[in-house]
Amino acid sequence: MKRILWFRRDLRVEDNPLLSLGGEVLPIFIFDTQILNSLPMDDRRVSFIFDRVLMLKNSLQTKGSDLKIYWGDPLDIFNALEAEGFDEVAASGDYDAYAKERDIKVSHILHFRYLHDTYIFKPEEVLKDNGTPYLVFTPFYNKAKAHFSKEHMQEYVYAKQRLYETSYEGITKIDVDREEILPLTIESLAFKKNLLKIDNVEMKLEQFKKNLPCYAKERDYLDKDATSHLSLDLRFGTFSVRSLLRFLLTQKKEGIDTEPFFRQLIFRDFYAYLLFHFPDLSKHNHKYRFNGIEDKGKYAAFCEGRTGVPVVDAGVRELLQTGDMHNRVRMICASFFTKDLLLPWQWGEGFFAKYLLDYDAASNILSWQWSAGTGIDPQPYFRIFNPYLQSKKFDKEAGYIKRWVPELLSVDSKKLHDESYLLNHAIEGYPKPMVVHKEASKNALAYFKQRL
């Protein structure tokens, strides 16, 4: 068997289904111009991916293999590779709309072999008794738990492979019928390095091992740092979800309650599952006709972290500066965006998509629809977070707020959770709240009711 191993969301050597396939292989990674052309030259994700691709290439070389790196449209690349006599291309499944359409087109060029890797369950593995997908998380969760077995934690071992003879130097740029070899630098892709220091998986696991006993109680608190910080690694596959499950199993055997975190992993699966079965969710509401009210002024203030609502501005500034945002703050910001400001959820989803390092289409889209009250969720549209109560509960001493909004360092922490104070007192260099939450909530409910 002569096959192409197409690395995508699985940038690792350990526990990788691709590398469990034997025979003659051509391992490749494609910097897809259909995606790259819409990104700014300093996009942090491109910098992260490029760094991890180089690490993958080095890891493969230590095993006597290598990685051929391409730049171009995947269809042009596979059309060029077709003439080399490959039997198939193997890759892990990817479920967003663009990926699914791209893979179908590639399958018309070469036989496409899907491998399951990114999530715990296959898209059609957890269904109702009548064969239809679940729409509510709790029944899905219960069915998934009952179905879960040791096979979902299996470790893939490295198979004996023979490396296809070709040049693995530099970056191979293919544009229709034109081929060019470029230096192996991010600048060759017309991007520049822009990456903050990110701890490796081993360091994250070691810290999470300490945090796990308190995860359920503390994960929502902005000053506790009780989360796993593994979303980026799961997104790009620098760490497999099976490895994480095996890690949880060892902790469970030591008496640690791992169920709360396991539930979050199932939630991650659930959102990918929904996007797979209902691809229209990527752009359109599942229910209700809430389209939001387009207001570029409000949108700009939100995106600059200048709303006058401290916890919202702190979250946005953290995102702009680091490419990350605490999950609780993501929910607070999304609720404020769609309910207090009545902006279209698609605008907010697009803003997060632009800056989140761990951006995952399914998780981001379904979370925004959840906040907007338009998605697959039994809770009606009237779920509205009060950002001041949220920050008072989860950032009582305002440590998170003051870290990201230094204009507020000298303000008493209690006052940063007090909307009345913020509305009636001028703070040098910081705006007053752009809306009154109670009034904005009332307006939002009236707007939604009109469109039922």
Give me the CATH number covering residue 262. 1.25.40.80
d(CA 209, CA 78): 43
Of 118, 142, 171, which residue is a domain's last? 118
158: Cα separation from own chain's centroid: 27
Closest CA to 437 of 452, 451, 418: 418
Give the strand pairing for 23-32 and 68-72: parallel
Six token digits for residue 161: 């492979």
Whole-number Cα distances in Å, 142 to 93, 145, 241, 261, 312 = 24, 5, 19, 15, 34
Judgement on whether residues 11 and 149 belong to the same structural domain of the protein: no
176 CB burial (10 A radius; 0-12, 13-18, 19+): exposed
Residue 132 forms part of a structural domain: yes
Residue 442 forms part of a structural domain: yes
Residue 161 forms part of a structural domain: no
Residue 175 forms part of a structural domain: no
Judgement on whether residues 259 and 309 belong to the same structural domain of the protein: no
24: Cα separation from own chain's centroid: 33
Judgement on whether residues 108 and 26 belong to the same structural domain of the protein: yes
pLDDT, one tens digit for every residue, the chain (452 residues):
899 999 999 999 999 999 999 999 999 999 999 999 999 999 999 999 999 999 999 999 999 999 999 999 999 999 999 999 999 999 998 888 889 999 999 999 999 999 999 999 999 999 999 999 999 999 999 999 999 999 999 999 999 999 999 999 999 999 877 899 999 999 999 999 988 788 899 999 999 999 999 999 999 999 888 999 999 999 999 999 999 999 999 999 999 999 999 999 999 999 999 999 999 998 888 877 778 999 999 999 999 999 999 999 999 999 999 999 999 999 999 999 999 999 999 999 999 999 999 999 999 999 999 999 888 876 667 789 999 999 999 999 999 999 999 999 999 999 999 999 999 999 999 999 999 999 999 999 998 888 76
Residue 415: give the domain boundaries: 296-450
Residue 288 forms part of a structural domain: no
pTM assigned to the model = 0.93
CATH number assigned to the domain comprising residue 29: 3.40.50.620
Judgement on whether residues 79 and 224 belong to the same structural domain of the protein: no
Q: How many domains does the chain have?
A: 3
Judgement on whether residues 109 and 135 belong to the same structural domain of the protein: no
Of 249, 277, 305, which residue is a domain's last? 277
262: Cα separation from own chain's centroid: 17
Residue 179 forms part of a structural domain: no
Residues 6+ apart with CB under 8 A from 256: 212, 213
